[in-house]
Homo-oligomer: A and B are copies of this chain.
Amino acid sequence: MSMRPRIAVTMGDPAGVGPEVCLHLLASEEMKSVCTPVVFGDLGILRRVAEETNLPLSAAVLRPAEWTENWAKVHQPSVLDLKALPADEVVPGRVNAATGRAGFTYVDRAIDAALAGQVAAVSTAPLNKEALHSAGINFPGHTEIFAARTSAPRSCMMQYSEEITCTFVTVHVGYREVPGLLTKERILDVIELTAEGLRRLRGREPKIAVCGLNPHAGEHGLFGDREEERIIIPAIEAARKKGITIEGPLPPDTAFLPWKRKSTDAFVCMYHDQGHIPVKALAFDSAVNTTLGLPIIRTSVDHGTACDIAWQGKANPSSLFAAVRLAVRLATKAK
């Protein structure tokens, strides 16, 4: 019996770099040594991408009926062939309603498998939001799909890397909408989810820092609408009362200085770019996107479909490998 956790890896939008990074994964000795990867995707598309890129495709192939019956016996790298989209209907780099729908199907089935306990975690290759929308699937991203499909009462995005880790109070909303979405309750939820997630990863009480919303964290009311005093500080104080080691609100621009990063396990960020800018500037290729607060474990690559280089053999699989490594780590600690 294999002790390696079975990890569902979704193929991502077929027109992007997802199929290619999945081929790299199935070929990686390191990946196969830490888990049993099961790619939720389309065999025909993987075969076509393998030909175009000269990458090998060596994996067991399962049909959905075989998976349903025999999932517990799957201990070798596999492709679950969901036949969501015929390979000849895909134009490399051209996402559309059909590729968006197929990409969603892979995620949808992987969530089913995780909720049923058939896989220990789900790691996702990139979807394209515009393709999802043209298919009538109105989720802005994976985070929201997983939250809705698992009926999580509260959840948040975490961008994890060894260099810097951020969690998010708001994510895929317009710049203008952020202040209206900040409440003491939501910020406290994200602080608590962050503390739980980091406790599991670090095996000790983590040090958490919360960023302000305004430049210089409002400089005591000089800038902004006193969001720090009215909303963020009360949430920090409530978290401290619950025993969480926490500081803030920090001026966002000095929060991520090198020595601050070293002494901080995670930064709670008020909006998407507040945390995504430093994570991508400092830890591109190694950062992993994960969703905290779900009943299942989910990690994701930190990049998009990269349509300009799709199917050309240029895609770097290191972000997917990092996502799978974190999924394995979380799955092992969760046991």
Contact = CB atoms under 8 A, between A and B. Distances in A.
A63 B9 CA distance: 73
A279 B123 CA distance: 32
Interface of A is mostly: helix
Contact of A273 (B129, B215, B280): B215
Contact of A277 (B133, B173, B213, B278): B278
A227 interface: yes
A176 B225 contact: yes
Contacts of A215: 171-175, 271-273, 276
Contacts of A254: 280
A191 B318 CA distance: 36
Determine the interface band of chain A, counting residues with CB < 8 A from chain B. 35 or more
Contacts of A247: none
Contacts of A255: 277
Contacts of A220: 130
A30 B258 CA distance: 27
A281 B278 contact: yes
A253 to B, nearest CB: 4
Interface string A127-163: 0011001000000100000000000000000000000
A274 interface: yes
Given A130-B219, A222-B129, A222-B133, A256 B273 contact: no
Interface in A154-211: 171-179
A256 B172 CA distance: 19
A255 to B, nearest CB: 8
Interface string A220-234: 101111010000000
A126 interface: no
A171 B220 CA distance: 17
A145 to B, nearest CB: 15
Interface in A50-75: none
